[in-house]
A and B are shown apart, each in its own frame.
Chain A
Amino acid sequence: MYNISLNKIRKTYGDLTILHSVEMEITEGEFVVILGSSGCGKSTLLNIVAGLDTCDSGQILIGDKDVTDLEPSDRDLSMVFQSYALFPSMTVRRNLSFGMEVARVPKAEREAKVAKVAQLLQIDALLDRKPSQLSGGQRQRVAIGRALVRSTGVCLFDEPLSNLDAKLRTETRVELKKLHNDLGFTMLYVTHDQVEAMTMADRVAVMNKGRVEQFAPPQEIYEKPANLFVASFVGSPEINQIAGHLSGNGSLDIGKTHIDLSGYAFENGTRPAQDAILAVRCEDIKIVPPAAGHITAQLDFVELLGADALAWVLYHGKRLSVRMGVDQARALESEVGLQFDLTKASVFCTKDGHRL
């Protein structure tokens, strides 16, 4: 029973509100990633779940038990820190068993558990070393090991991979995901790295300025962002945005150009007239001859990325990106037509950014 529910969690520092009434329901065994830019309150939220920080109001349930006022050690969860936070003066073995030592677990049991986790993470050979004698990747494993040794079902991670080099990060990512599949723990994982979020999560919570903007499976976040913030935060290069006026007959008017949005599925099927923004990912745009597509734009420059290429075009002074094959990119004329795949596009309200 390790589902977690967060109920209207609020956190303020003086006049500054760090978390505005955050709500989240995490089911048992789920891998949830909290994604957001620096300073948006991810760590604060995680620390509140862990019990390392208090919230001003709200409630935290773990396995249907109200743990809001409990000490971290009474919450049945464990945590992996960004800087690993291994105890520098202790050997790896003692790092792993310290928590059980504090809890007065008998020695034999401690040793058995340490041995089991050490084997699982392949750190048996390192057990008698001090943290300073380990490489970054090894420290990372020990930190995860420490969390697993005592863990009964919930594991929290605060940007655990951000101190690793790119290659190691990819490897550890895969391993963590595998570990999750094998152990079936509930995992709450904080990161600002989209790739980690997309690859590991069962569901992603995108955070912005202390609010959860969208909480959904990664593919849905990518394809059907709930608002303009999520759309532009997720994906690289940033999603293309074309501002215009949505008229009653279902077309987006930009000056004299009218983009027919009949292929787009509006939420609730309604399309009230208002200022709106059409957002399309670079891979959902096709290059066509000028005047044959939805709009016509001027080619600015081309970036060759190896596997494919990005063409940057100018439309009404704004730069848009289009992904295409390298050969096609080399052959581009100075004026191009752009055809949008409206089934994959999004339309947002200009005023508050919500999806239309």
Chain B
Amino acid sequence: MARWFQRQMFRPTFTVVAFFAVIAIFFYGSIGWTFLMSLTKSSLMPRYDFVGFEKYADLMDNKRWIVSCINMVVFGALFIVGSLILGSILAIFIDRGIRFEGVFRTIFLYPLAISLIVTGLGWRWLLDPTLGIQAMVRDMGWENFAFDWITEPDRAIYTLVIASVWRSAGLVMIIVLAGLRSVDGDLWKAIRMEKIPQWRAYVQVIFPGMRPVFASCIVLLMSEVIRGYDLIVAMTNGGPGISTEMPAKFAVDFFFSRMNLSLASAASILMLLLSLLMLAPYLYSEFRRRD
């Protein structure tokens, strides 16, 4: 026994076990407990009066939850597509050895260093109809110019898309750029020999070969969408009305200000399931590749 203990001094086992325990308790234990809560009627404090999946049914009747989900899908789709397109175009241009590459790169990337709170505030001010772009254009003489999306319930969600594309396009750019730089030089030579137009080369040859790169971009952006909380709080706070509410905010609000523990837990568990669902193909291919 003493010898076994002594051997372990030379092994990573203790560290791995301690690490595993922390993750198991704080991540998986917490998830398990949240799931239990979602099966109860707990409101302010945890109670263990199990009611099955009633709270999930309640969620489906909750207008704010439904709106949140729809918003997340709309926002997520536009944000991911927008970031991928803008990021890829910027990556292609930067990869072509433009002048002032460093300057452009710095400009496209700095938003990543800025918090979502400041990002949200900045765009909130810029898009404020009485202060920002609309006011400026009107001051220049176009009295009827309107760009008041942030105060329009139908449009406000798009302002969130603008702000998050602004923040994340650089991320896509840097990942795609790394992918482009690792493309085999001979491939480009072949493309030139075959006289394939450059844009077709990107669309039909280069990018299809970078599928894993885009996959990790998408996984990353998706997890941002599902977790998205700070930006909404800073920019629209869910408004006007509930037009920019999203699940992450729904859960936090119901946990901490509306004190509906069970409903918030059910919402969180659904968010988790959604994350795992999105992640599954990625994880699957990751582990397939390793074997």
**Residue in chain A with minimal CB distance to B10:** A71
Q: With the chains together, A69 CA to B3 CA distance in Å?
A: 8
Q: Does B6 contact A (CB under 8 A)?
A: yes
Q: What are 5 A-B pairs with beta-carbon distances under 8 A? A: A69-B3, A69-B7, A71-B6, A71-B7, A71-B10
**Residue in chain A with minimal CB distance to B9:** A71
In the complex, chain A residues whose CB is within 8 Å of the CB of B7: 69, 71
Q: With the chains together, A47 CA to B3 CA distance in Å?
A: 20
In the complex, chain B residues whose CB is within 8 Å of the CB of A69: 3, 7
Q: With the chains together, A69 CA to B2 CA distance in Å?
A: 12
The residues in A between 60 and 90 inclusive whose CB is less than 8 angstroms from any CB of B are 69, 71
Q: With the chains together, A71 CA to B3 CA distance in Å?
A: 9
A-B contacts, CB under 8 A, total: 5
* In the complex, per-residue mask of B3-25: 1 if CB is within 8 Å of any chain A CB, else 0: 10011001000000000000000
Q: With the chains together, A69 CA to B4 CA distance in Å?
A: 9
Q: With the chains together, A356 CA to B237 CA distance in Å?
A: 90
**Residue in chain A with minimal CB distance to B4:** A69
Task: Bin the interface of chain A by size.
Answer: under 10
Q: With the chains together, A69 CA to B10 CA distance in Å?
A: 13
Q: With the chains together, A56 CA to B166 CA distance in Å?
A: 58
Q: With the chains together, A166 CA to B277 CA distance in Å?
A: 56
Q: What are the 4 closest A-B residue pairs judged by CB atoms, nearest first?
A: A71-B10, A69-B3, A71-B7, A71-B6
Q: With the chains together, A112 CA to B3 CA distance in Å?
A: 33
Task: Bin the interface of chain B by size.
Answer: under 10
Q: With the chains together, A71 CA to B7 CA distance in Å?
A: 7
In the complex, chain A residues whose CB is within 8 Å of the CB of B3: 69
The residues in B between 1 and 58 inclusive whose CB is less than 8 angstroms from any CB of A are 3, 6-7, 10
**Residue in chain B with minimal CB distance to A52:** B10
Q: With the chains together, A71 CA to B11 CA distance in Å?
A: 11
Q: With the chains together, A71 CA to B5 CA distance in Å?
A: 12
Q: With the chains together, A69 CA to B5 CA distance in Å?
A: 12
In the complex, chain B residues whose CB is within 8 Å of the CB of A71: 6-7, 10
CB distance from B225 to the nearest CB of A (A): 41
CB distance from A236 to the nearest CB of B (A): 36
**Residue in chain B with minimal CB distance to A71:** B10
The residues in B between 84 and 119 inclusive whose CB is less than 8 angstroms from any CB of A are none
CB distance from B9 to the nearest CB of A (A): 8
**Residue in chain B with minimal CB distance to A54:** B7
CB distance from B52 to the nearest CB of A (A): 44
Q: With the chains together, A79 CA to B113 CA distance in Å?
A: 48
Q: With the chains together, A69 CA to B6 CA distance in Å?
A: 11
Q: With the chains together, A71 CA to B10 CA distance in Å?
A: 8
In the complex, chain A residues whose CB is within 8 Å of the CB of B6: 71
In the complex, chain A residues whose CB is within 8 Å of the CB of B10: 71
The residues in B between 213 and 255 inclusive whose CB is less than 8 angstroms from any CB of A are none
Q: With the chains together, A69 CA to B9 CA distance in Å?
A: 14
CB distance from A213 to the nearest CB of B (A): 33
**Residue in chain A with minimal CB distance to B3:** A69
**Residue in chain B with minimal CB distance to A72:** B10
CB distance from B266 to the nearest CB of A (A): 43
CB distance from B91 to the nearest CB of A (A): 34
**Residue in chain B with minimal CB distance to A69:** B3
**Residue in chain B with minimal CB distance to A73:** B10
Q: With the chains together, A69 CA to B7 CA distance in Å?
A: 9
The residues in A between 310 and 329 inclusive whose CB is less than 8 angstroms from any CB of B are none
Q: With the chains together, A69 CA to B1 CA distance in Å?
A: 12
**Residue in chain A with minimal CB distance to B7:** A71
* In the complex, per-residue mask of A31-72: 1 if CB is within 8 Å of any chain B CB, else 0: 000000000000000000000000000000000000001010
Q: With the chains together, A178 CA to B164 CA distance in Å?
A: 70
The residues in A between 175 and 221 inclusive whose CB is less than 8 angstroms from any CB of B are none
Q: With the chains together, A71 CA to B6 CA distance in Å?
A: 9
* In the complex, per-residue mask of A289-316: 1 if CB is within 8 Å of any chain B CB, else 0: 0000000000000000000000000000
CB distance from A92 to the nearest CB of B (A): 25
The residues in B between 251 and 286 inclusive whose CB is less than 8 angstroms from any CB of A are none
CB distance from A219 to the nearest CB of B (A): 41
* In the complex, per-residue mask of A151-167: 1 if CB is within 8 Å of any chain B CB, else 0: 00000000000000000
CB distance from A53 to the nearest CB of B (A): 12
Q: With the chains together, A103 CA to B89 CA distance in Å?
A: 59
Q: With the chains together, A69 CA to B8 CA distance in Å?
A: 12
Q: With the chains together, A71 CA to B4 CA distance in Å?
A: 10
CB distance from A8 to the nearest CB of B (A): 22
**Residue in chain A with minimal CB distance to B6:** A71
Q: With the chains together, A88 CA to B29 CA distance in Å?
A: 41
CB distance from A140 to the nearest CB of B (A): 26
**Residue in chain B with minimal CB distance to A74:** B6
CB distance from A48 to the nearest CB of B (A): 15
CB distance from B3 to the nearest CB of A (A): 6
CB distance from B7 to the nearest CB of A (A): 6
CB distance from A73 to the nearest CB of B (A): 8
CB distance from A106 to the nearest CB of B (A): 23
CB distance from B10 to the nearest CB of A (A): 6
